[in-house]
């Protein structure tokens, strides 16, 4: 076998979302922080992301994480979150997968009933508490970054759909929350919340992202992170304690998990409206029936915004281990997309 590259991974899925965790074959990237490493990676090594995430080795809805030595003394591992569309500052489902992989492969010291893992990410330090029984990770609870409602009751003009009402919030990434029901042009999107309408939601989500970023682009007041690349369509009957939704990611694909950063952002919206207090369970259920359970554990601030510290609990399962190679004659050394 001839190869110019040999990358080791552990394959997993978090509540339905496939997550490829890179455990070997990649050295430490330059940078004094994980944010600097993310910037360096994007500028100098993005072909590794596309090699792993894009076809023929990946697909349009695959997520991933690259393990790194931490850049800070209080962290166990560093992580870069990758997917087909780019390098995320934070990924809740990816964090849950990474923590599960670290426990079940013995890459951290495992303690029962709870193993605490501190992860150095581009958005900051993320703490994961893994519930362990007989050496197996049964669930993972992460303490996410401070989340906040950026702008409530907004209206954007979306070509082909009219005026769409939305809330914009941050939970590690920016999200636009839109009602799936209602009539187009009167606030809602007018798409029935049915499994066979996934393509309709994808098209609408792509259009709403573009409209939000053109008309009311959100910018994080501390980090400067900007842009909305996620749209959540809420099912009729969703409440402040139990929501059902479908999540569309940039540039236009259906997330296979309930969304950790999205759950955080949605809880921040409910808190800003006075609907969700501290230490109350919030169940965020995805299209296919899987769910994350969230809690708000502390009030804080982000710039001038009132913010909350959320926890997210979910499950991940290991599905295999792999080695990815690159034949020197392969016509797609960095993968491809269609």
Catalytic residue IDs: 91
CA distance 285 to 246: 9
The SS3 call for residue 76 is coil
CA distance 34 to 124: 8
Q: What separation, in Å, do the N-terminal and C-terminal C-alpha atoms of the chain show?
A: 28
CA distance 158 to 36: 35
| Integer CA distances (angstroms), 193 to 60, 275, 311, in order | 23, 24, 27
Q: What angle do CA 64, 205, 238 make, to 5 degrees?
A: 90
Evaluate whether 55 touches 88 at the Cβ level (below 8 Å). Answer: no
Evaluate whether 66 touches 28 at the Cβ level (below 8 Å). Answer: no
CA distance 181 to 262: 19
Q: Which residues contact 37 (CB under 8 A, 6 or more apart)?
A: 29, 30, 31, 68, 71, 78, 80, 122
Q: Which residues contact 310 (CB under 8 A, 6 or more apart)?
A: 143, 144, 147, 171, 263, 264, 267, 268, 294, 295, 296, 297
- Residue among 318, 297, 316, 271 nearest 92 (CA): 316
Cα 325 to chain centroid distance, Å, stands at 27
Evaluate whether 94 touches 107 at the Cβ level (below 8 Å). Answer: no
């Amino acid at each position: 076998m001839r190869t110019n590259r040999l990358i080791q991974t552990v394959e997993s899925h978090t509540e339905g979302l496939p997550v490829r965790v890179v455990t070997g074959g990649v050295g430490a990237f330059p940078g004094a922080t994980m944010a600097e490493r993310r910037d360096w990676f994007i500028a100098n090594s993005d072909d590794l992301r596309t090699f792993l995430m894009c076809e023929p080795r990946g697909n349009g809805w695959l997520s991933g994480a690259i393990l790194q030595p931490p850049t800070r003394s209080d962290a166990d591992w560093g992580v870069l979150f990758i997917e087909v569309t780019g390098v995320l500052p934070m990924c809740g489902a990816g964090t849950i997968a990474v923590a599960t992989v670290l426990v079940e492969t013995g890459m951290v010291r495992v303690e029962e009933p709870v193993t605490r893992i501190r992860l150095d990410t581009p958005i900051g330090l993320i703490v994961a508490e893994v519930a362990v029984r007989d050496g197996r990770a049964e669930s993972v609870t992460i303490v996410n970054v401070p989340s906040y409602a950026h702008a409530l009751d907004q209206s954007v003009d979306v070509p082909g759909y009219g005026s769409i009402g939305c809330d914009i919030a941050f939970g590690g990434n920016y999200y636009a929350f839109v009602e799936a029901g209602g009539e187009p042009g009167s606030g809602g999107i007018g798409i029935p919340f049915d499994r066979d309408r996934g393509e309709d939601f994808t098209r609408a989500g792509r259009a709403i992202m573009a409209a939000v970023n053109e008309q009311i682009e959100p910018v994080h007041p501390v980090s400067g992170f900007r842009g909305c690349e996620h749209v959540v369509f809420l099912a009729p009957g969703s409440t402040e304690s139990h929501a059902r939704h479908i999540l569309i990611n940039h540039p236009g694909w259906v997330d296979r998990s309930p969304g950790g950063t999205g759950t955080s952002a949605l809880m921040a919206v409910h808190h800003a409206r006075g609907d969700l207090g501290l230490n109350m369970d919030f169940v965020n259920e995805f299209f296919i029936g899987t769910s994350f359970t969230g809690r708000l554990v502390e009030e804080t601030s982000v710039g001038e915004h009132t913010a909350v510290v959320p926890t997210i609990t979910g499950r991940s399962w290991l599905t295999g281990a792999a080695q990815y190679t690159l034949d020197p004659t392969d016509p797609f050394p960095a993968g491809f997309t269609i």
